[in-house]
Every structure is written in structure tokens, then in C-alpha cells.
Structure 1
Amino acid sequence: MSDLPYLAGYAPALLERVRDLRDGGKLRAWIEQRHPDRHAVQTDKALYQYVDALRQRHMRNAPLLSRVQFDSQQHPMRGTLGTHTFVSRTQGGKLKAKHEIRIAALFRDAPAAFLQMIVVHELAHMKEKDHNKAFYQLCCHMEPDYHQLEFDMRVWLTVREG
């Protein structure tokens, strides 16, 4: 197993830079300097309002969300930081659809930019189910620094686990 499991797939030179910062005891300070601000979203109700505000801002035609909540069952080592579920069923001759978003509970204590990045990712799944080019274009439309924030969030996870 890699010594940087959250950063698998990144360029070797970048991984070496992260290792140097970590081994020199400077990685935590680096990530805290880049993302010093925390968010105030602590309850499921506040999370729903936060997500819905982003949905209304960037995806006005997207359907309403049935549920949004922090989920303590999701953990990055098990491969999930957030999930978007879509359930459709027939009820009395009508097709009903429900969209639910669950965000890993560890993001209650995350920098504000990381919560936004995860929410943008899950909202993008409302239009694009797969992680394809159109999906990432939509993520970048909603959050122009999406890829940098994803990298920084993975460094933050590395610091948390270390």
C-alpha cells in the first residue's frame, strides 16, 4: 500500500513534494495556510440549505433534493466522501423521483472550500451519473478551482490520517 493513499494517481514529482513537506513536518502548516477558514454548516438542516442554495445558483432546472445529510457511515478509506442516490418509482400511475445527497460527517470540521467541492461533486451527479468529461466540466463550471480543491482536500485527508 502507498504511503499516500489519498493521492494515488498523481504525478510522482507532486507526490515527492508532498512527502518532503510531510517528512519535514510542514504539510499541516501548508494546508492550514491555504485553507484557514472553517464553515458554519454543522446540522443536516443547515447542510440542506447550503446544498440547495448551490443547486439554485448553478442548476436551476435540476429537481429538488429529497434529503441532504451528514453521514457517519461514509469514510474516505472505504472510498466515499459523499454519495448521490437517485430512486425512481411508480406511484399511482405517476413516476416519482427522489434525489438524496449524503456527505461524510468528517466534512463538518473541514475547511469551507472542501465542503463546497464535495457538494459540487455530488450536485454534478444529478446531471451526469459517470465521472466523464462532461461531469468534470460541470464541476469546473460550478467551482472553477475544482481540481485544485480536490487535490488540496486529499492532502488535508492525508494530514488528518497522519
Structure 2
Amino acid sequence: MRIFKKAHKLKALLMAAIALLFLCTTTQALPVKPITNTSVNPDYVRALFTADKFLYAWKTRNVQEGIPLVSPALKKKMSEDELTIYISGTSSPSHAAFEINSGKKLSNNRYAFDVKLYEYLYSATPESQSWKCPQSSRIVLIKTGVDSPKFRVGNWLVDALPATCELQLN
């Protein structure tokens, strides 16, 4: 009798798993919101690539990878120490993740992408943390070095940094 109950439960569990798998494979994802006011072209893709590469350096706190992606104009506005602190951050809160949304062409050689940066405070419980992320944070990229033989298609660099997320304890 006990073996029969176990087999019955196992069969019911297997049927539920198959039904769940069927639902997951037949459910359609919501359509992605199309990019507005910007056509995707090689410059857009290269600017997005640089934004992603810089923000990955921020997330991994890799100053050596991040600083070379900063424009000379931004390096004049911020000292190297300020840029180093921005990229490397602190041990807690620590850079946790970033989101990049659709970009917008600002001029022939400038793109801006909406960005959110997230940080995590290791000394607090997850329940005691809340996020106050900037609503209009963005990263701006500028195309430079168009005539450089090294960068025949132009070199995209970060010209304005996104605001970091404000972590608050409850």
C-alpha cells in the first residue's frame, strides 16, 4: 500500500512538472519596447559596446579597464583620484549590477543611454535595505579619434558618468 502511495505521488509530481514545462515553453514573452528617436547603426552599437564595457569595469571595480574608456574632457573635469574612487567604489556598499536601456543620439558624435547602477551593503540584512535609484541617470559617450589609424571607425569614450544608486537602511 505504501509503495502504491509513493508511486501515485511521484506520478502526480511528474505530471505537474510536465504541465509546468509545457506552460513555460508556450507562453510568449512581452514585446520589447522599440527604440525611439534613434536608429540602430554602427555608431550606436559601438557607443553601446563602450558603455557596457565601462559599466562592467565599474561593476567589477577594474580601474585599469575603466580609466582608458574615459574621454579627455571628463578627465579634465574630474581628477584621476575621483575617477578611481568612482570606478573602484568601496567594499561595502559594493557595486552589484547595472542596467542599460535604449540610447538616444544627441549629435553626430554623441549618444546617451539611460542607466541605473545598483549597490549592495554586505553588513546589513537584505530586508533592511531599500534602493533609491536615480530616475534620470545616464551615461554619455562621445566619438573621438576618427582620423586615427588605430580607430578607423572612431573610438567611443565615456564623456559623462551616471549617478550611483543611493542605498538606504530602514
Q: What's the TM-score bracket when you normalise by the shorter of the two chains?
A: under 0.3
TM-score when scaled to structure 2? 0.27
Instruction: Name the structure, 1 or 2, with higher relative contact order (CA <8 Å, separation 6+).
Output: 1
Report the structure number with the largest CA radius of gyration.
2
Which structure shows the bigger proportion of residues in helix conformation?
1
TM-score when scaled to structure 1? 0.28
Which structure shows the bigger proportion of residues in strand conformation?
2
